[in-house]
Structure 1
Amino acid sequence: MLPLVLTGCAGRHNWLASAGAEAQAVEDLFWVLILGAAVIWSLVIGLAIYAHQTSAPRKEPQARRFIVWGGAALPTLVVGGLLIWGMVILRDITAKEGDLTVRVDGERWWWRVIYDGPDGPFTTANEIRLPQGQTTLFRLTADDVIHSFWVPALGGKMDMIPGRETSLTLTPLEQGNWGGICAEYCGGAHALMRFDTIVMPPDDFRTWLAAEAAPAEIAADDPGWQVFLDEGCGACHTLRGTEAQGPVGPDLTHMASRERLGAGIYAMTPENLSRWITDTDRMKPEVDMPAYPHLSGAELEALVTFLMSLE
């Protein structure tokens, strides 16, 4: 059974990957707890076996000292020390400063992500990009119910509570695409509320940030743009630099540059996007976005081509 169990210790959601400074601190605490538990268990079982096998009488004062020091004082010191260590780790990962600040709002069931760009804040969705080796301060809120923000390979998790802002810091040390998830049950599509966390070299991150902050490039005569307007997509979605300024759903300004669709659950391909538009609830049950099954043929193809051009 052990090889089957160990398969859970791999992949982009592996919290033992320790690709971030905060994750390394949590992992160190985990291994100390595991080793400490193993030592204590061995001592307790060993003493139990010894007591069972020996019939020699014990003096009451010796037994009393053993109970006081071994059963009360030592556990208090060990547990107290571990508590203080854990609180120090919690203090470090909830600091109020970072090289970069990113605001994330948990929605049903997706992530609104707000960066500070060269010309002010701008919004994206369901994908977070971070500079390698720099500390990012996340300011976390929730729109409806309690969610929980967790990138297992980079650090600990933090609850997102409606009406309250919580904070979390992550310092990624390794480049890659690390999976993020909601770690607090939040409703029907909870298991499908994911996001990508892409760690990039600092120079590449600055280039991406400038490009992501730019408005959408749209040709006024694009037939897909006309379908987008006719179907009322702009009432829910924003395309910066256009008349589409819907505040309800994810910002689509550069949606085609994201690696996944549907809050981290499908690859960003024309085929998946077509299904997402026409059969939304089947792809993600209980999602708020309505399906558009009447779109087909040239109209659907034009809309998909338009959306896939938003890079």
Structure 2
Amino acid sequence: MTSGSIFAVFDPAGPYAGSITTLAWVLIAMFVAVLAVVIAALWIALRGSGRLKARLGGTRAIWIGGIGFPVVVLTALLVYGLTLTRHLTAPMPQDAMRVRITGEMWWWRVAYLDPSGRPFMLDANELHIPAGRPVLLELESNDVIHSFWVPRLSGKLDMVPGRRNTLPIQADGPGVFAGQCAEYCGGPHALMGFVVIAHEPAAFDRMMAARRAPRPVPDERGRQLFRSTGCAACHRIAGTEANGMAGPDLTHVGSRRSLGAGILPNNRGTLAGWIGDSQAIKPGNRMPPYKTLSAADLQALAAYLEARK
């Protein structure tokens, strides 16, 4: 599996990111070429002979260098860029997987959609996709402008309140790919991470089927604490009385790779620490601290959530 902890911007892992990376290298090469021409012109202006200075400041040079060259180069880049990236806006296959991702302050709401566009499974802060298949993301925001960006799989796109934008992504093979909110959204914006996990198609289908199957509810004490402390008012766990929508869905929280939108590894200890005082870990997030809970209560709650696979 490929590590998702480093933003390898120039290491595309799918066709959509590949064309963007190619265009980026072309633009960088053009920048270097133009910079070299400007430096050469500056050298002539400062140290060149009188004859070269006269030619550089002549009418013909101004027309060619000031008008003709930019028009030709920018037009060529525009045509090339639009041709290279035209598949980014091409219609997706009718049977393409669709996922709605909603930016929140400061985490990501994830909803897997059925063919009719209705959510059938909820998650948060990570996305599972089948490798080798295109996936269409529907991007929204519930509060301020965010920007969704997984550099190795596609470009970045703003998430604007009241508007739904679409972004295609695809991973060529299995791997773990890091993402980040790329638009300053206040508070702990820098700690608003995301992860995409690409699976072999057969493994992905098995995982999704397992997630949709009913599971027994373990640890009755943890379940009672989840209700009595008010967790159920903000969080949802499918198949239970917890139906809160203010915070991340916790139905499969035990299987997530991280907590707090990518800032902590997910295990019982970090779960207990996050529940006890998330403000000490991610200052400004919207979950209040629960400092009145005993260590035993925190461990019971963490065990209950850890079992939610």
TM-score with structure 1 length normalisation?
0.89
C-alpha deviations, 1:119-165, integer Å up to 9, x for none? 96211111111111111111100000000000012121000000000
Q: Which residue of 1 aligns with 2:28?
A: 34
Alpha-carbon shift at residue 176 of structure 1 (Å)? 1.5
C-alpha deviations, 1:205-235, integer Å up to 9, x for none? 111222233455314x621111111112111
Alpha-carbon shift at residue 42 of structure 1 (Å)? 2.2
Alpha-carbon shift at residue 34 of structure 1 (Å)? 1.6
Q: Is the 8 A contact 2:111 2:119 kept in 1?
A: no
**What amino acid does structure 1 have at the position aligned with 2:272?**
S
Matched, 1:64 2:62: no
Q: Which residue of 1 aligns with 2:234?
A: 236
1:1-311 mapped onto 2 (5 Å cutoff) = 12-50=6-44, 52-56=47-51, 63-88=58-83, 91-98=86-93, 99-116=96-113, 121-219=120-218, 222-311=220-309
CA distance in 2, matches of 1:243, 1:300: 20
CA distance in 2, matches of 1:64, 1:172: 52
CA distance in 1, matches of 2:5, 2:237: 34
Q: Which moved more, 1:115-124 or 1:129-138?
A: 115-124
Report the aligned-residue RMSD.
2.5
In structure 2, relative to structure 1, the CA distance for the partners of 1:69 and 1:218 (3 Å cut) is: same
Residue 254 of structure 2 aligns to a residue whose secondary structure is helix
CA distance in 2, matches of 1:160, 1:217: 37
CA distance in 1, matches of 2:5, 2:120: 33
Q: Is the 8 A contact 2:14 2:154 kept in 1?
A: yes
CA distance in 1, matches of 2:139, 2:78: 25
CA distance in 1, matches of 2:189, 2:44: 50
Q: Which moved more, 1:86-95 or 1:297-306?
A: 86-95
Q: Is the 8 A contact 2:154 2:169 kept in 1?
A: yes
CA distance in 1, matches of 2:50, 2:186: 59
Residue 122 of structure 1 aligns to a residue whose secondary structure is strand
Alpha-carbon shift at residue 48 of structure 1 (Å)? 4.3
Q: Which moved more, 1:267-276 or 1:166-175?
A: 166-175
C-alpha deviations, 1:155-213, integer Å up to 9, x for none? 21000000000111112123221111000000111001111111111111111222233
Q: Which moved more, 1:272-281 or 1:209-218?
A: 209-218
Q: Is the 8 A contact 1:103 1:139 kept in 2?
A: yes
Alpha-carbon shift at residue 270 of structure 1 (Å)? 1.1
Q: Which moved more, 1:141-150 or 1:229-238?
A: 229-238
Residue 50 of structure 2 aligns to a residue whose secondary structure is coil
Residue 124 of structure 1 aligns to a residue whose secondary structure is strand
Q: Is the 8 A contact 1:117 1:213 kept in 2?
A: no
Residue 18 of structure 1 aligns to a residue whose secondary structure is coil
**What amino acid does structure 2 have at the position aligned with 1:309?**
A
In structure 2, relative to structure 1, the CA distance for the partners of 1:293 and 1:64 (3 Å cut) is: same
Q: Is the 8 A contact 1:107 1:144 kept in 2?
A: yes
Q: Is the 8 A contact 2:101 2:111 kept in 1?
A: yes
Q: Is the 8 A contact 1:139 1:166 kept in 2?
A: yes
C-alpha deviations, 1:250-308, integer Å up to 9, x for none? 11111110110111110001111111011111111111111111111332221111111
CA distance in 2, matches of 1:38, 1:190: 33
Q: Unpaired runs of 5+ in structure 1?
A: 1-9
TM-score with structure 2 length normalisation?
0.89
